[in-house]
């Protein structure tokens, strides 16, 4: 278990990326309440405005929200530190490290030396989920506006990383369960 959570360069880089998505998405959620008087703008809100992080954060943190609600943990959010008028995503940061560890473990254990078709599926399937940001109108507008290009491209890339985390994690979970079931039968 210690080896699973022991940091290495790949885990730390993935963790930093997922943490950036979580914190940036939480900061960008201020856009939904910025018209309310006397609310404090989160730090880095204006710097993160050109990036499309919010939808990726929602997709990434979905399991936290579902399980948090299911386990009745929503009352703990009042103890989380604030980022201006939004709460710091403590659960998302912890979840980011766990997902990073699981992705590296799945890669090392099953994908690294797996079938090329399986690797291709795991890496190409997330493109389908990410294509929602590349609608024809978005591409048309990006041709004329650099800031729109950054918005659309960053949304595509961040969603791709999130869906890659899901495809890798689901594949790893399937392999783990099938390995356990196979050992149980023999």
As separate numbers, helices (DSSP H) first and strands (DSSP E) second, the chain gives 8, 2
pLDDT(39) > 90? no
Ramachandran class of 163: left when φ > 0, alpha when ψ lies in -120 to 50, beta otherwise: alpha
Average pLDDT of the chain? 88
Burial classification of residue 119, based on how many CB atoms lie within 10 Å of its CB (0-12 exposed, 13-18 middle, 19 or more buried): middle
pLDDT(79) > 90? no
Percent of the chain with pLDDT over 70: 92
pLDDT(144) > 80? no
Residue 170, both tokens: 């689901």
Question: How many CB atoms within 10 Å of residue 121?
Answer: 13
Contacts of 54 (CB under 8 A, 6+ apart): 24, 25, 28, 29, 31
Which domain covers residue 142, as residue numbers?
2-185
75: three-class secondary structure by DSSP: helix
| Number of folded domains that form the chain | 1
| pLDDT at residue number 143 | 64
Burial classification of residue 4, based on how many CB atoms lie within 10 Å of its CB (0-12 exposed, 13-18 middle, 19 or more buried): exposed
Angle between helices 54-70 and 90-106 (to 10 degrees): 100
Residue 174, both tokens: 């399937």
164 vs 181: which has the higher pLDDT = 164
pLDDT(139) > 70? no
């Amino acid at each position: 278990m210690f080896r699973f959570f022991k940091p290495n360069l790949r885990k730390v880089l993935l963790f930093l990326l997922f943490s950036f998505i979580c914190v940036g998405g939480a900061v960008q959620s201020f856009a939904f309440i910025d018209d309310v008087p006397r609310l404090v703008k989160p730090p880095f809100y204006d710097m993160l405005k050109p990036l499309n992080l919010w939808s990726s954060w929602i997709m990434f943190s979905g399991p936290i929200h579902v399980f948090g609600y299911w386990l009745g943990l929503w009352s703990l959010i009042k103890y989380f530190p604030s980022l201006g008028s939004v709460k710091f995503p403590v659960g998302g940061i912890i979840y980011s490290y766990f997902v990073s560890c699981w992705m590296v473990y799945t890669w090392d254990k099953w994908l690294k030396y797996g079938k090329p078709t399986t690797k291709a599926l795991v890496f190409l399937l997330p493109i389908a989920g990410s294509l929602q940001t590349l609608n024809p109108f978005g591409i048309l507008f990006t041709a004329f506006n650099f800031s729109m290009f950054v918005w659309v491209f960053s949304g595509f890339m961040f969603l791709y990383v999130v869906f890659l985390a899901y495809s890798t994690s689901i594949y790893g979970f399937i392999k783990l369960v099938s390995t356990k079931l196979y050992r149980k039968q023999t």
